[in-house]
Amino acid sequence: MKIDLAGKVALVTASTAGIGFAIAKGLAESGAEVILNGRSEQSVNAAIARLQNEVPGAKARPAIADLSDADGAAQLLRAVTGVDILVNNAGIYGPQHFYATDDATWDNYWQTNVMSGVRLSRGLLPAMVSKGWGRVVFISSESARNIPADMIHYGVTKTAQLSLARGLAKYVAGSGVTVNSVLPGPTISDGFAEMLKDDVAKTGQSLEELAKAFVMTHRPSSVIQRAASVAEVANMVVYVCSPQASATSGAAWWMIFSESPLCRGAPSPAAFPGAKKRKMFKNSRKVAQSEQEHVFPELMIFVLSISCGVNVSVTKLAFLFRRGGRGRPRGTLPVGGYSGVWQRHPGGVAHRSGPGERAGRYRAGSSAAGAEICPLAL
């Protein structure tokens, strides 16, 4: 697979360093003209010079704006034209005690992390829809689903991005424009390096060693057992922006590289005796529609391994959908006309009980053909 974005114009917000710059570089390597955004002329010009040095012949132009308020977003929209790809990467983060997080801090995070994407999408989507082609990507975070206790304000904004992306995907459905989210896990970015700077000086260990220790402490189920690089995150984003990803919209691409805490302990398809996956989902949708309930394969979380933006292999798929409804409490799942309750037990073993009970046991994390399909109540 060769990704070719020649003739496309990509705007990457907050792209003077870190993940944003890596994404801009990846898009430029694929042939796109890149608009680099930052808050100061100096940082943007330095980023353009670096990009053109690392990617000879790269087409780049500046867009200086602070996206933490409406005026900054309006300034950026006036400065850019012909955008085919919008990557909403602008965001702020930082730990803070919940009781000490005042309204001003909450509002600052909301304006920067959420409303910047709202404003830019509202301004740029109409032209994409008119052309019949476009890509909008929100750089969310695994904190959107695994909310950190010391960064609740940050996690809330990242969860909001998932709703925004999914809603926009529905809004422009069938137009040729796709809208998706990418949820990086721990990544060795400039911000991450700054956070561990004192520890590097104190311990004498390398940043990579400390990042690995961080992952093993805070994400012990990681299947790569290290932090990702900004280039690995960028490879995912470049693919989502490519023509090859035209059939994917409204998805959340989770790059935590570990067993999802949402799926741990959830049943595999083998847990449903006699129920084929296709029939299960079909009947779930049928029951939901009859109850005016919104069932969705809304959040498809793919953990992918991408090599140089070329070879893509799906290593884990978590399929989540909402259920419940009139006369059926949350936590119940209709399968082939059957509505039962999944109950967890120690040791990762569960059994099903409910109307027309047929006992079923499963081992947590069991899978079929390498894919975990985890129906959960959201």
Which helix (H) or strand (E) segment holds residue 362: the answer is strand 361-363
Q: Which of 93, 99, 109, 154 is catalytic?
A: 154
Cβ pair 215, 227 in contact under 8 A: yes
Biggest alpha carbon distance in the chain? 69
Angle at 263 between CA 372 and CA 267, to 5 degrees: 65
Q: Which is it for strands 252-255 and 177-184: parallel, antiparallel or unpaired?
A: parallel
Nearest 10 degrees: CA dihedral of 3, 311, 225, 160? 40
For the record, the structure tokens of 244 come out as 């090859």
Instruction: Give the E-state strand segments of 146-196 in sequence order.
Output: 177-184, 187-188
Q: Which of 347, 345, 338, 350 is nearest to 374 (CA)?
A: 350
All residues at 6 or more sequence positions from 159 whose CB lies less than 8 Å from its CB, including other chains: 144, 145, 147
Q: Is 239 a catalytic residue?
A: no
Q: Mind telling me the catalytic residues?
A: 154
